[in-house]
């Protein structure tokens, strides 16, 4: 029977421990509930004022962040980045990469436009010279016609020989 009395004591202790744990959990849950209600009531009364306080603190932080960014930019510009020519090198690298990217999309570069403008200017000069030549005299016009006719005949003969046949020059 001694064993039974010990088991009975152990059982009542377990029940007491379970009861005390349940009571502690109930009290803790009640406190959490009440804290939530208190926070809700406080936000209802203090909420607008707290919101304005947060907005003002955000403005102050924004000004500080802008100042810090400006200072970092000034520091970078004043550093050896510029003095060592690295800034120029960086700009050149960026320009080259952008030019390559634009070229891959088929965008005409400034250099290509300048080259085309130079070629057009040369062609204009050449055309003006050709137009001015006939006005200088009739003999040069006849000479250029006979030379042009000779070129046509020679070209026709070459083309015919490449085809394997002969063709009469006109």
pLDDT digits (tens, 9 = 90+) for 49-60: 888 888 888 888
Which one of 100-109, 135-144, 150-159 scores highest in mean pLDDT? 100-109
Domain match, 95 and 149 both: no
- C-alpha 77/C-alpha 73 separation (Å) is 6
Last residue of a domain, one of 107, 126, 150: 107
Q: Residue 97: which domain range?
A: 1-107
- Contact 153/170 with Cβ under 8 angstroms? yes
Angle at 161 between CA 160 and CA 167, to 5 degrees: 35
Same structural domain, 63 and 14? yes
pLDDT at 163: 55
Q: What is the phi/psi pair of residue 91, to 5°?
A: -60, -45
pLDDT at 154: 56
Residues 95 and 135 in one domain: no
Same domain, 17 and 64: yes
Residues 150 and 81 both lie in one domain: no
d(CA 103, CA 108): 7
The total of structural domains in the chain comes to 2
81 token code pair: 């980045």
Q: Which helix (H) or strand (E) holds 39?
A: helix 2-78
pLDDT per position as a tens digit, 71-112: 888 887 776 555 556 777 888 888 888 878 777 777 777 888
Whether 102 and 30 map to the same domain: the answer is yes
Residue 109 has φ and ψ, to the nearest 5°, of -90, 165
Residue of 169 and 38 predicted with greater confidence: 38
Tell me, yes or no, whether 116 and 46 share the same domain.
no
31 lies in the same domain as 84: yes
Q: Residues 51, 18: one domain?
A: yes
Whether the pLDDT of residue 123 is over 70: the answer is yes
**What pLDDT is attached to residue 170?**
44
Same domain, 62 and 136: no
């Amino acid at each position: 029977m001694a064993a039974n009395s010990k088991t009975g004591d152990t059982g009542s202790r377990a029940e007491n421990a379970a009861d005390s744990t349940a009571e502690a959990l109930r009290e803790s849950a009640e406190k959490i509930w009440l804290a939530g209600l208190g926070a809700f009531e406080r936000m209802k009364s203090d909420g607008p004022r707290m919101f304005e306080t947060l907005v003002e603190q955000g403005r102050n932080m924004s000004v500080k962040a802008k100042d810090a960014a400006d200072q970092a930019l000034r520091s970078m510009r004043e550093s050896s980045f510029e003095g060592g020519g690295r800034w120029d090198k960086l700009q050149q690298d960026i320009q080259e990469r952008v030019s390559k990217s634009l070229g891959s999309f088929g965008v005409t570069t400034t250099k290509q436009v300048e080259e085309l403008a130079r070629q057009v200017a040369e062609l204009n000069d050449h055309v003006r010279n050709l137009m001015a030549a006939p006005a200088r005299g009739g003999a040069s016009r006849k000479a250029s016609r006979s030379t042009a006719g000779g070129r046509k005949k020679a070209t026709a003969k070459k083309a015919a020989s490449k085809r394997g046949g002969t063709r009469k020059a006109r």
